[in-house]
Structure 1
Amino acid sequence: MSLLGCGGPEMEAADGQELLGSMGEEIVGGTVSASGAVPWVVSLRRTSHFCGGAIYNANTIITAAHCVSGATPSTIQVRYNSLSHGSGGTLVNVSQIIVHPGYSSSTINNDIALLKLSSSMTLGQTQARAVPLPAQGSDPAAGASAITAGWGTTSEGGSISSQLRQVTVPIVARSTAQSQYGTSSITTNMIAAGLTQGGADACQGDSGGPLTVGGTLVGITSWGNGCARANYAGIYTRVGNYVSWIQANAW
């Protein structure tokens, strides 16, 4: 991931394409996920993995807007019920994309989208379960232990992982993230998570994947300055601000 407007490289989407104001992420400093540990994580695919997502129900995936904004639904498939992005589980087609109407590619605000599947997933399997949503308006407390997961790169600029990986990071106070990135860059629609000293984070290829606290979806992997850098937390869409929108637009 890289941050627009800070003198560094342009932001990069999880599929590796430079995208104004958005950033991809993968798991740095984590471990291979055990079967059933994060059963709501899915892989979004074109010809290969490009972003993550989370199962909301049998027909709906929650992901980041920057992953799918402007995309044609028929070009995207979802692999679920597998710890590998390239094999196993089941592939389903996407029939519709709903990007949040307030999404901005320049500020990465409202970075959330829903995917409608052309056929229903079979849930209740080990690696195929819906993730609970938080209460509308909720905001995870600073210091809370959160888990982010995906198939992204295991180092900044590295290669994506063939196996699902996860890492535990603490929620960072929004005021701290604002001091790191600038007050205007971190809105109340975003939350931050990471270690002050760095070493643990999402990275390229993890965008759109879930950030959970106690098994509840509190964030969607969105952007950040590089991967696992000291004094730069990873930035996630604050799901608590979109619960009503998700419920109103899901299938």
Structure 2
Amino acid sequence: MASKVLYLMLAFVAAVSAAPNTRLVGGEHTTIEQFPYIVALVYYYPRPAIRVQRCVGSLISSWHVVTSGYCFTGAILDNMEIRAGSTNALSGGTVVRVGQVTKYPGYVEEPKSGDLAVIRLATALGISNTVNVLFLPPQNTFIPDGTSLTTVSWGFEYVGGPQLETLKTITQRKINIERCKAIYSGSTKVDISDRVICANEVGRSTCFGDSGAPMVIGQVLVGTASYHEGCGDDDHPDVFTRIDTYTNWIMQVATAPGRSGSEAKIAPVQF
């Protein structure tokens, strides 16, 4: 009987950790000192009283996190917390509560589009060597096809594998948007438009649990993980929300309590 209960518990953990979707396949392990802007969105499930790393986000100010709108599907905000400053998703660092969530007003869950949200933390984070911010790209920044793009996150290395707590990073290359549209033609799951970045690399992709994971060029946030077709599916590129098409909106909503100006900063993207 005890073994049956344990089996059911493990099955529950596997189920909740796989939703919402996307986690990293392939890549290398890294540390928070290399990517101090990343945070884990940790969700508490009252029954059976466990915490699971549900999604990923990027600090753009001491008050604000950019992530996926999908992360809040069916979520109770009081059950969510943000862990910053730790290589591990479920231990260490600093934990703060969610103060407010603003989803992009045009967000559509299926076919997925406008997959973006800004979290305002309940309390501001202090900047250190393990907690820092990413810059936003200027509105409508051009990123050439073939550009090398880095994504960092926590998660499974393969479908059905154990959930990892430590950070990993992968590098992919941006592919032509028209080619991406052709690959996903007929899909009812995701809308491929000029407001997404499609990227791939053999043996490297997002998988279950990485929604909102940052895609960066240097210290600039250029994308957030939004959709994948299978884990490690080399025939289908990963789809990321293209941040530079939302920069103006992010700047409008990323304001600290009692202030009218944005706390986020814009920086040019260097190729």
Q: TM-score range by the shorter chain?
A: 0.7 to 0.9
Deviations 1:33-61 (A, max 9, x none): 13422111100011221100000101111
Partner of 2:199 in structure 1? Answer: 193
Residue number in structure 2 paired with 1:142: 145
RMSD in angstroms over aligned alpha carbons?
A: 1.8
Q: Is the Cα–Cα contact under 8 Å of residues 149 and 165 in structure 1 kept in the other structure?
A: yes
Structure 1 residues 81 and 248: CA distance shift in structure 2, 3 A: same
Change (3 A) 1:101 1:77: same
Which letter does structure 2 place at the counterpart of 1:194? N
Measured against aligned partners, the alpha-carbon deviations of 1:2-39 in whole angstroms (never above 9, x if no partner) come to: xxxxxxxxxxx99424xxxxx62111111111342211
Identity percentage of aligned residues: 28
Secondary structure (helix, strand or coil) at the match of 1:244 reads helix
1:156-207: CA deviations, max 9, x gaps?
3433221011011111111121121117731111111112xx3011211211
TM-score by length of 2: 0.81
Question: TM-score, normalised on structure 1?
Answer: 0.87
**1:119-178 CA deviation, whole Å, 9 max, x = no partner?**
11111x222111011110124211111110111211134332210110111111111211
Instruction: Kindly indicate whether the alpha-carbon contact (under 8 Å) linking 2:215 and 2:221 is maintained by their aligned counterparts in 1.
Output: yes
Aligned to 1:111: 115
Amino acid at match of 1:142: D
State the distance in 2 between where 1:178 and 1:229 align. Answer: 16
**Structure 1 residue 41 corresponds to structure 2 residue 45:** no
Structure 1 residue 87 and structure 2 residue 84: aligned? no
Q: Tell me which residue corresponds to 1:227.
A: 231
Deviation at 1:71, TM superposition (A): 2.9
Q: What's the counterpart of residue 125 of structure 2?
A: 121
Letter in 2 for 1:180: I
Which residue is equivalent to 1:6? Answer: none
Provide the C-alpha distance between the structure 1 equivalents of 2:17 and 2:253, rounded to a whole number of angstroms. 26
Query: Which range moves more in the overlay, 67-76 or 93-102?
Result: 67-76
1:161 counterpart (139, 155, 164): 164
Q: Secondary structure at the match of 2:169?
A: strand
One-letter amino acid matched to 1:92: V
**Greater Cα radius of gyration, structure 1 or 2:** 2
Matching residue of 2:5: none
- Please tell me the residue identity of whatever aligns with 2:23: E
Residue type of the alignment partner of 2:233: R
Q: Which runs of 5+ in 1 are unaligned?
A: 1-12, 18-22
Alignment-derived partner of residue 182 in structure 2: 179
Which residues in structure 2 correspond to 1:10-29 (within 5 Å)? 15-17=17-19, 24-29=21-26
CA distance in 1, matches of 2:37, 2:80: 18
Instruction: Name 1:8's counterpart in structure 2.
Output: none
Q: Would the alpha carbon gap of residues 70 and 139 (structure 1) be closer, same or farther in structure 2, given more than 3 Å must change?
A: farther
State whether residues 152 and 202 of structure 1, in contact with CA within 8 Å, keep that contact through their aligned partners in structure 2. no
Change (3 A) 1:159 1:120: same
Letter aligned with residue 141 of structure 2: S
Aligned pair count reads 231
